[in-house]
Amino acid sequence: MATKVNRATAVGDAPASRHSPELLLGLYRMMVKCRMCDEKARILFKQGKYAGNFYSNVGQEGGEVGAAFSLREDDWVAPSHRDWTSCIVKGAPLKACFAQLYGKTDSPDRGKSTPAHMGYPELHIITPASTIAAQLMIGTGVAWGLKRQAKDSVVVSFCGDGATSIGWFHEALNFAGVHRLPMLYVVQNNLWAESVPLRLQTALTDLSDRAKGHGITGVSVDGNDILAVYDAATKAIARARAGQGPTVLECKTYRWYGHSEIDPAKYRMPEEVAEWKKKDPIPRFEKYLADRKLLSDQIKKQVRDEITREIDEAVEFAEKSPYPAPEEALEHIWA
């Protein structure tokens, strides 16, 4: 049942785009925004501005943005530890996102969770659990609830390659397959689970083949080709919405930095990192847009300037926001 979409060719090959200029520029702007916010979050952590840790998504923006960009307000996102930027794609204001990093009262959870574990119930963003693959179980439960309520909303969950070797991944897929749930499982295959390389996690080449064992659709795409991800995700989301069941979408990609900001990642060969940096999804998409006369140096600068201003305001806001009072620790919790 697993189908492979192999878009090995560069996105710049096609003469005209099937997508509207508004959509293309929207995807571009969001990718740049996610990259810039992530890089800022790394700098702030290194400067000791917030405690805890941060798990950079730089390099993986094609999957991050492509998979969640077409979601509606009433759809849900279930991010993992590495998907702080998926909250931005789902519409979280940057002020809330940076307040989350800082653990301040203006974060959606009033400073209760760790920096990169951001949820936002009003925006249908499920707080990631620290336990790997747990968000897939929670997301699948939400999808079951949506189906029982006869709603046509969908859930997009994110996880890494390592998560696909954990039992919960398979339990979630099995349940979603049985009940034909409106789920899209996005697997960001960045070739490493902390210091464990993919070849020591599984003998599979395509992680979308994991779907086969659960009777659901599996698709593998070049995760650094944002349009390949966008096309595969919108198709899977439309199927899920129409009651045709879940999909596993593997995005083949790479994380540029360590597992977290305290990991120098000495287990990776510098050549491997350099090779993947050449496949940066952003310049690749810039070329696609420039070839179609949709992007100039001036627009690029304008986009970056606007985002820089928005980030600066958000960081200032987060810094000024107060820390929660110690007495608040037992408020807004179940038990």
Q: Is 148 part of the annotated catalytic residue set?
A: no
Residue that is written with structure tokens 């009651």 in the block: 243
Tell which residue, 75, 94, 76, has the closest CA to residue 85: 94
Q: At what angle do helices 94-102 and 21-46 cross, to 10 degrees?
A: 20
Tokens at 160, concatenated: 């890494």
In angstroms, what is the minimal distance from the CB of 94 to ligand TPP? 22
Set 81, 117, 214, 255: catalytic member: 255
Work out what residue 131 binds among ligand TPP, Mg ion, none; the CB cut-off runs from 5 to 8 Å by kind. Answer: ligand TPP
Q: Is 259 part of the annotated catalytic residue set?
A: yes
Q: Is 247 in the site for Mg ion (CB under 5 A)?
A: no
Tell which residue, 219, 164, 171, 186, has the closest CA to residue 79: 186
Q: Is 317 in the site for ligand TPP (CB under 6 A)?
A: no
Q: Is 267 part of the annotated catalytic residue set?
A: yes
Q: Is 160 in the site for Mg ion (CB under 5 A)?
A: yes
Cα–Cα distance for residue pair 59/38, rounded to 1 Å: 10
Cα–Cα distance for residue pair 311/326, rounded to 1 Å: 29
Choices 154-162, 207-215, 267-275, 324-332; region in contact with ligand TPP by CB under 6 A: 154-162
Binding residues among 182-221 for ligand TPP as defined by CB under 6 A: 188, 190, 192-194
Cα–Cα distance for residue pair 153/26, rounded to 1 Å: 22
Set 81, 110, 124, 259: catalytic member: 259
Work out what residue 82 binds among Mg ion, ligand TPP, none; the CB cut-off runs from 5 to 8 Å by kind. Answer: ligand TPP
Query: CB under 8 Å to 237, separation ≥6 — which residues?
Result: 70, 71, 75, 154, 156, 184
Q: Is 77 in the site for ligand TPP (CB under 6 A)?
A: no
Interface residues with ligand TPP (CB under 6 A)? 81-82, 130-132, 159-163, 188, 190, 192-194, 259
Catalytic positions are 255, 259, 267
